[in-house]
Structure 1
């Protein structure tokens, strides 16, 4: 597992822990929590993975699910280690630690799930709250995970109809899905010809690309399945699932069905009056992280 070089971490805002300034040792102990998570992931040991979290940790997944404390975190990851992420590893990187007061700090961390063949599958960014108590050294009390999403591409101010890309409550078409015999080869095509960026791979070989505005899902065709090769569905990024669901049912279509998948998007599946499928997502459909600005920006 990759970890950045240790840096001196002075107390911030006069923070002290037990009458002393926080030290580099505190930051090292906090980083060790993520190292232990990575070891648990690599071993497929959900109990070891969950050991870094407090018993009553407030944990939010990339899909917005909230497992109950450490036991819920363990159960959820046990299912992942036995299923879609069997044999994968976790590259966890603590990028920032900020001490807020006695025995309390926030942590920003980035993680990448890596397939057995070394290919990155998905990347996430987390904000966590860690705490030191008399009963236990540092542990994670709150953890909110997410998939970074690139902002929509803005047109030039003098471009025609430039307002179509401005933020609005209107649902935005952001996702197209194609069932492909060879997703990797097709991803290479769209990357080389149209400069799309590959940002996620599923364990089954499905590939997900983005132009920074719209995502393209290339779903691996299953030889024993009934789904034909070609265009499969599209997806809307919406602000409120309940409001959109009411509008769909008022238009005479079935109530959208929740999708229980391991992908961090496309929470609901719906259809139009002619049976064409589409996804609904409040989270967005993922995408590459925007380019980093100058240091300190």
Structure 2
């Protein structure tokens, strides 16, 4: 249950309107795809945490991050904001609970978030958001769901994990720029021939330069599993009727073996991973 707004001084009602206007400004900036207008509600050094746990650097980082969203996945969308409660800690400091809904151009709901913010007013500037922690609430049904019975089947801690995709591209640099700008993937390695390697923190994407004199076609090329023990996995593949994985003769340190499934699809096996930046600490805690 949300607390009502809590007037704490003679001019509290004016301040409540001014605080609520911060969220109105965000919604208007979002509607126009104007990242600078959206970010204007935040202090220059705002401590902002996204639903993924990312922490952009103050207002400039907030603006830059939303500019990417407005050009990419949230282009043409709208933001509905609902300030649920304002609690004054001092006459110039308050906490705010707010909910937001992102709607597609056709009005459909894309995402709902809940934020806890700290807002401040100084003698020289109006109310601004000093700290903002955004999150995606757990659905009520999931919160009330009974805990599952303990399984009698032991979940293997060594289960292979799909961690790599490779695409042969005519223009890897241009394609890397696309995935960086639209999906915020991080470019972590570039080969001399122009091949680019990106990561979202969990999965690496290799954009391999197409060779005009080669036989490899453009498009999806292979995928890769991170495994605990390549020898054990090799034995399992042979037992399943596929050829024994071949050791890769490559200077790249991202995969040790190349294997093939029963229909001829290539995939890599790696015990040490596929490179890239470390994953976020825990997205469920964002």
Structure exhibiting the larger radius of gyration computed from Cα positions:
2
Contact 2:6–2:86 at 8 Å: present in 1 too? no
TM-score w.r.t. length of structure 2: 0.53
* Unaligned residue ranges in structure 1 (runs of 5+): 1-6, 165-169, 174-223, 233-244, 260-266, 269-279, 287-297
Which residue matches 1:100?
Answer: 89
TM-score w.r.t. length of structure 1: 0.51
How far 1:285 sits from its partner (Å)?
11
Which residue matches 1:253?
Answer: 271
* Unaligned residue ranges in structure 2 (runs of 5+): 160-217, 231-269
* Deviations, residues 101-160 of structure 1 (Å, cap 9, x unaligned): 12111011111111111111111111100001111111000001111123466438xxxx
Tell me the C-alpha RMSD between the 2 structures: 4.0
How far 1:96 sits from its partner (Å)?
1.0
Which residue matches 2:283?
Answer: 283
Structure 2 counterpart SS, 1:44: coil
Structure 1 counterpart SS, 2:283: coil
How far 1:22 sits from its partner (Å)?
4.9
Alpha-carbon distance in structure 1 between the residues aligned to 2:31 and 2:129: 20
Which residue matches 2:208?
Answer: none
Q: 1:112 aligns with which of 68, 77, 101?
A: 101
Alpha-carbon distance in structure 1 between the residues aligned to 2:93 and 2:285: 33
Alpha-carbon distance in structure 2 between the residues aligned to 1:285 and 1:104: 26
Q: Does 1:123 align with 2:112?
A: yes
What is the aligned length?
182
Alignment of 1:1-297 (within 5 A): 9-11=5-7, 15=8, 20-150=9-139, 151=142, 154-155=145-146, 162-163=149-150, 226=220, 253-255=271-273, 282-284=282-284
